[in-house]
Chain A
Amino acid sequence: MTFSLFRVLWTLLHVFLTAVHFIESVWNSLRRKLDLVSKNYVDDELGFISRHVKLFNKIPSHLVVIVGNETISYRDLANVAVWSIAAGISFVSFYDHHGILKKNEAELLKALSEKTKAQFENIVWGKRTKTHGLINKNGTKNGNGVVSSHKLHLNIFSLSDGKGALVKLTKSLCQSVIAGQMTVTDINQDLIDEKLRAEMDIPDPELALYCGDVCSTYGFLPWQIHVTEFLQLQSHHNIQIKDFLLLLKKYGKCVQRHGK
């Protein structure tokens, strides 16, 4: 009898929390719609971002967006990429553990080229992408005479790039050891770090934005996330510049002691 009572109360608790959550999302969604309607559009998006980030203590050199269980909105990811250029972020990665983003890379390419012509030429597609090496890296020319020397390195990762990459590396080290090119005692943290860095061609992510309510790494690059700050991005759908800046501002306040 008492067992069922507790279970009933537990169910009520979760129903209540779901209701609260629902009301919150409806409210947030309404507020966004009002924002979009009433506020003045930011004319110079990129200038707006560049000016604001100067006020922050620090900017990540590598930002990753963990899409989680959300359906992918290529337009919004393209926005994040372009805003990152303006913010001075050098590396942006998108992580989708399902691998859908990797399969549909062309969609992201399309969304980026629709978003901006000027910045598009400043995007370097990383080793893990299909577009790597395909786009003509012409440098920084563009018609307006606005010189931007800032390049954005874009990467797309999926589940197999995490633990899978370590497994692959282990196999390759086995072969090297068997071939007499190295000994087992040569294998240490620094060696593995060096090899993975050469393979991925990215610095360790400093900031990860996870989408949705569930905070998890979703299997993202276990080796590289040792000091990554995890911040919640409610949803990447219809992400606004102010959401993006707010998260960068929060990141700017994080202080790392590195064990000390």
Chain B
Amino acid sequence: MSWIRASTLNWIQFLCVKIIKSGRVPKHIAFIMDGNRRYAQKNNVRKFEGHSQGFDKLAETLQWCLDLGIPEVTVYAFSIENFKRSQEEVDALMELSQQKFERLLSEKMFCCFARDKLMEHGVCIRVIGNLSLLPQNIRKLIAQAMILTKDNKKTFLNVAFAYTAREEMAQAVRTAVSGVERDALQLSDVTQQLLSNCLYTSTSPDPELLIRTSGEVRLSDYLLWQVSCSCIYFADVLWPEFSIWHLLAAIIKYQRSYAQLVPVQQADEMANGCLNERISLFHTCLAASRLASLEELNHAVA
């Protein structure tokens, strides 16, 4: 199963997409894809099957987002907290991820005529999280996928893997303090904007809409900093059963909430602080060092 499916919309759904699209759509949507295991239980299949169907739903959702003209999507694939699950389940999830990343890379290498839709649609894949917690083979695959797609600029898929927001924020604080310690930054350079740009999501705009499925109403340590001004939509449906109608409902909610959230965004922006040459240089160096780490992973012997 490929990363992006061919469009699955019937003509009525397609028309509805066109209608919703004529209003404002978010430039970046974040998803908490919750409910795979409950789905598996409900349908009497193995958990692995639930997760696999969850991946299929992800592929379908990406296609809908492309149809709706939403250029960036961030998904919560694996939380650091999920390492607490049984070894069997964690291994199964790593196995699934390995399959999907390998598929992505092999399609590039072997199919010239039937190119993976990912490259066709100019999708840039970024994996955010504490990659050092992952097995070496997965890290290498992730590095390869990110380097392969790094120059794609049309759409962006961010996968939160071995991620929690607090680990990300702690890492950003550490990065900032380290910058000040080695004189790359001054104390006065430490601002809200600086911390934002030290997060794993530094190259992405904040998500305007966050959708969580399965009916739970919490954020579970996901993008806590980045969703300060976002519209949050809790959908009472298990992720593998998520439909275009749920997505359209969420976007309608976003359209109706937008006006009330603009002043919050403005207040947040005002608290950002000023940019200067030193800070810009710091960010450039940070981006370069992150890319260098990926290259190193890429060339490491698996």
- CB within 8 Å of B: which residues of A? 3, 6-7, 9-10, 13-14, 17, 68-69, 97-98, 159-160, 162-164, 166-167, 169-171, 173-175, 177-178, 184, 187-189, 191-193, 212-220, 222-223, 225-231, 254, 256, 258-260
Contact = CB atoms under 8 A, between A and B. Distances in A.
Interface of B: 18-23, 79-85, 164-167, 169-170, 173-174, 176-178, 180-181, 187, 190-192, 195, 216-221, 224-225, 227-234, 252, 255-257, 260-261, 263-264, 267-268, 271
A223 B219 CA distance: 11
A166 B79 contact: no
A140 to B, nearest CB: 34
B225 A222 contact: yes
Contacts of B79: 259
A160 B83 CA distance: 34
Given A215-B231, A259-B82, A3 B22 contact: yes
A115 to B, nearest CB: 29
Nearest to A190: B170
Contacts of A9: 19, 22
7 A-B pairs closest in CB distance: A259-B81, A226-B221, A222-B224, A219-B228, A214-B257, A6-B22, A174-B180
B181 A230 contact: no
Contact of B217 (A10, A167, A229): A229
A207 B53 CA distance: 32
B224 A166 contact: no
A226 B224 contact: yes
Given A14-B255, A167-B195, A184-B174, A228 B219 contact: yes
Given A10-B23, A189-B167, A216-B257, 13 more contacts: A14-B256, A69-B263, A167-B190, A167-B191, A170-B176, A170-B177, A171-B187, A187-B174, A216-B232, A217-B224, A222-B224, A222-B228, A258-B84
B232 A230 contact: yes
Contacts of A175: 187
A239 to B, nearest CB: 19
A163 to B, nearest CB: 5
Nearest to A21: B256
B109 to A, nearest CB: 35
B267 A17 contact: no
A104 B19 CA distance: 45
Contacts of B216: 254
Contacts of B81: 258-260
B87 to A, nearest CB: 13
